[in-house]
Amino acid sequence: MTIPPKQIVIAGGGTAGWIAAAALARKMGPLVNIRLVESSTIGTIGVGEATIPPLRTFHKLLQIDEQAFMRATAATFKLGIRFENWGRIGEQYIHSFGMTGQQSWLAEFVHFYLSAKARGLEGDYGDYCFELEAARQHKFATSTQSNIQYAYHLDAGNYVAFLKRFCSNLGVTHCDGVISQVLQHDNGDIKALRLASGELIEGDFFIDCTGFKGLLIEETLHTGYEDWSHWLLCDSACAVQTTSTEPVAPFTRSAAHHAGWQWEIPLQHRTGNGNVYSSAFMDDNEASEQLMQNVKGEAITTPRTLRFKTGRRNKAWHRNCLALGLASGFVEPLESTSIHLVIMGITRFMQLFPHGGNYQALTDEYNQQTQLELERIRDFIILHYHVTQRDDSPFWEHCKNMTVPDSLQTRIALFKEQAHAFQKQNELFRVDSWAQVMLGQGVTPDYHHPAAAMLSDAQLNQSMQQQRQRVLQAVAQLPAHEDFIRRYCATPQKA
Ligand code: FAD
């Protein structure tokens, strides 16, 4: 059966717009005609350079070649995030993408680790995670045999250019112009976008990727915004790119300071840096000065201040409009989840793709799933701020003492009481993620599952030693991250 293709108009050509175009064009080609409108005068946000492992699954789905992608975006590999000064000043831990320790059906590894600790074990939870140890030693390799869990650091501008080239071979029509008006049908649905040039772009369905302002979803359809800034106080960032000064690390650095935190994202050709802060506790000048004092290389761009409001659009899909990327909301960059949420959003939309004229139930389902996904990520991010031992500034006092969502309070209580963490159905962050952050920031469980008590001291000790040795031996086989990238990204020789 042949059905006429839906006319899809994507407003905005940042990472969100081009990811949406690439996914729709590659996976639903005959069912859609895609037109993307962007404005080179307005430009893109230019940040968003740290990712998480599901990006690899997305690239595989689109049949994107990893080496070509890495060369085009000057990407490096990412095994996790190193959090410095979050629990206490001077302390650090890594939240890695890997599994920690041997799995058991009865109780997670964390319970065995805590039992061993109580019996005098030295070292920390991260010692039993291959990816985490590789990150510590700045080592990395992929191979068809290894199941190493990783993501990338990428140059945001180059990634947009890469996706644009990818889409040009898939029939996506592209136009550069400023959208000056959004026209609606009598029933309120969006009818067309008028450009400043006078050109009219009509469509059946519109995807709003216009960034924070949400030109269609908010400025036209007024769907409203649920503000989370009482839990996530940071509302500003100052970003600067610098030269690289040392071998590239296979992790993002996140160093907390008295009113927020600073990121360091190593790429092949430069480093991305940013100071994320609460404007109620730090002014823009101080933020910019502090950033420039802390960066390691020479600045190659002028520091830029960005504002954001954490929260989510009440309805990411409303009428014939879907919002993706910053237009749909923003949690905050701490765990690099925004690009992932764009991918989840467009994937979910393709799975619920409307066929008939009335699709209210599909819309409701999409919005409900999206809300749940975002709230779980939100809770995980709030956790980093809330479970701190820091008391050196009003910002941290506030974070430590604030009332957090009940859903998070329950999770903290479960971990505190008996070291339980759960990955709920379809939840992004795993048991290990929750455990790494809680233990890393000084949450000490009162008890753990008694399963480990069935092992004698000698048995438990032997098991822990064997697991540690396996991690160390596996990491010893890996080359330095930098050497691996150099070989992996070398331009292929012509035959
Ligand atoms: P934008 O990049 O703002 O693109 C908007 C597009 O809309 C542009 O093409 C613009 O030209 C177009 N447009 C707007 N108005 C008009 C108009 N009137 N007419 C025509 N075109 C128009 N995410 C991560 O996953 N990892 C990170 O490490 C990370 N770090 C971040 C750090 C900070 C400080 C911030 C603020 C965000 C970060 N993000 C991160 C989020 C990430 O940057 C975004 O999710 C991603 O870049 C997608 O942005 P976007 O495409 O939605 O918006």
* 81 close to ligand 1 (CB < 6 Angstrom): no
Is the domain covering 6-49+155-228+310-375 a CATH 3.40.30.10 domain?
Answer: no
Residue pair 286/292 in contact (Cβ under 8 Å)? The answer is: no
Whether ligand 1 lies within 6 angstroms of the CB of 250 is answered as: no
Task: Report d(CA 485, CA 266) in Å as an integer.
Answer: 12
Tokens of 130: 């291959």
- Which sequence spans correspond to the domains of the chain? 6-49+155-228+310-375, 236-307
**Residue 338 Cβ < 6 Å to ligand 1:** yes
Alpha helices in 41-180, H assignment, sequence order: 54-61, 66-73, 109-118, 130-136, 156-168
Give the tens place of pLDDT for each residue, 91-138: 999 999 999 999 889 999 999 999 999 999 999 999 999 999 999 999
| Residue numbers of the chain with a pLDDT score lower than 50 | 495
Ligand 1 site, residue 17, Cβ cutoff 6 A: yes
Whether the CB-CB separation of 394 and 281 falls below 8 Å is answered with yes
CB 175 less than 6 A from any atom of ligand 1: no
What's the confidence (pLDDT) of residue 250? 98
Is any atom of ligand 1 closer than 6 Å to the C-beta of 325? yes
178 lines ligand 1 (CB under 6 A): yes
Percent of the chain at pLDDT exceeding 90: 94
How confident is the model at residue 246, as a pLDDT? 86
Site to probe by mutation for ligand 1, drawn from 19, 40, 44 as the one with most ligand atoms within 8 Å of Cβ, is 44
Instruction: Please indicate whether residue 50, judged by its CB atom, sits closer than 6 Å to ligand 1.
Output: yes
β-strand partners of 25 = none
**What would the two tokens of residue 150 be?**
């990783």
Pocket test for ligand 1, best of 39, 45, 236 (most atoms within 8 A of CB): 45
Instruction: Give the span between the Cα atoms of 110 and 104, in whole angstroms.
Output: 10
Question: Is the complex ipTM more than 0.95?
Answer: yes
Count of residues in the chain: 495
As separate numbers, helices (DSSP H) first and strands (DSSP E) second, the chain gives: 14, 21
pLDDT, position 425: 83
Distances (CA, A) of 373 to 340, 369, 377: 11, 6, 7
- Nearest one of 320, 321, 291 to 303, comparing CA atoms: 291
Question: Which pLDDT value is given to residue 492?
Answer: 61
